[in-house]
Amino acid sequence: MKDEIRKDIFGRDVVIATSRSKRPGAFLHKHGREKACPFCPGSEHKTEKTILALPNEKNWKVRVFKNKFPVLYDRSMKPIKQNFYSTFTPCGAHEILIETRGHDREYFNMPEKDIVLIIKALKERHEQLMKIPDVNYVTIFKNKGLRGGASLAHPHMQIIASPIFPHKISEEMRESENYFKQEKKCAYCAVINNEVKERKRVVYRNRDWVVICPFVSRWPYQTTILPRRHFSDLSKMSDAEMGTMAKATKRLFYAYSKLFEDPPYNLMYHNFPESDFWHFHISVYPRLITPAGFEFFGLNVNITQPEQAASELKKSMK
Ligand SMILES: [Zn+2]
Ligand SMILES: [Zn+2]
């Protein structure tokens, strides 16, 4: 069975990546006991070769390499079949970014300057991957813990370059653009103004960033990390903003660890093409509950009030 990108008449798309089923533990529900972690220093030979290492390859603190079981990997997107349904070659790239040498590290116990290195590496890989001719989007995310969907415990992020936009991102782009056309301002700039004024959902703020529990939080203790300055994508983030973002991240995850003892979570970069209506931000979804089933329909029921979550997170900060 060939890997491919599929599109149907409803405008839906999916990446079929059968090679990923060969990865250890693909369909297991439990972590097997890890013998030797392939992401720890000294095991570099167990992974694909280094694409980027910061500050340098020998003493790396952040290391990027190609995923051994990539979701997408072809250099160009060519049609395979065009009849009732359409299929295309799996164009794109799939990389792993090791965030730290420490197997059990989390943002709250890392130096801020090491978090800055992670952001720098993401910025650089985003820039390079966007140069692949048919690539339109670079998805950046982190799964932590078994309930967060991570197959290996060592802190790492994934970077997927693709010709297609993730559904959540294109939905958000459409809504933000509609808001901009009606209100003549960026939706997220408006949200930031409102949240800073109302204060009750603000978890943390510094000169450049604000962390909130969104008014419509779909998951308990869900947060959004937003830059106060309007910019759409990672490439526009200044060095100063990287420093203050590292500070905000460290503080937020300290609060999470204090409240929930280092919980599993999903972290997603909402990175957009440059524009007046798309505003860069990061979403964090702690995995504190098991989905009840109706979430698959998009009916979200949240058992924690976002205002309560914000107040608890704020109180738990150092
Ligand atoms: Zn490790
Ligand atoms: Zn904005």
Same fold, 4-18+31-164 and 168-315: yes
230 CA distance to ligand 1 middle (Å): 37
153 CA distance to ligand 1 middle (Å): 7
107 CA distance to ligand 2 middle (Å): 26
Amino acid symbol at 12: R
Which CATH superfamily does the domain covering 4-18+31-164 fall into?
HIT-like (3.30.428.10)
165 CA distance to ligand 2 middle (Å): 20
187 CA distance to ligand 2 middle (Å): 6
pLDDT for the residue numbered 25: 52
16 CA distance to ligand 1 middle (Å): 29
Judged by its nearest atom, the ligand closest to the C-alpha of residue 180 is 2
User: Domain extents for the chain?
Assistant: 4-18+31-164, 168-315
Per-residue pLDDT of the chain (318 residues; tens, 9 = 90+): 678 888 877 777 888 887 776 665 544 444 444 568 999 999 999 999 999 999 999 999 999 999 988 888 888 888 888 888 989 888 899 999 999 999 999 999 999 999 999 999 999 999 999 999 999 999 999 999 888 888 889 999 999 999 999 999 999 999 999 999 999 999 999 999 999 999 999 999 999 999 999 999 989 999 999 999 999 999 999 999 999 999 999 999 999 999 999 899 999 999 999 999 999 999 999 999 877 777 777 788 888 999 999 999 999 997
111 CA distance to ligand 1 middle (Å): 18
Amino acid symbol at 215: F
CB 76 within 8 A of CB 92: no
Which CATH superfamily does the domain covering 168-315 fall into?
HIT-like (3.30.428.10)
pLDDT for the residue numbered 39: 94
How far is it, in rounded angstroms, from Cα 278 to Cα 169? 10
161 CA distance to ligand 2 middle (Å): 24
pLDDT tens for 286-311 read 999 877 777 777 788 888 999 999 99
Q: What's the whole-model pTM score? A: 0.91
pLDDT tens for 232-254 read 999 999 999 999 999 999 999 99
106 CA distance to ligand 1 middle (Å): 12
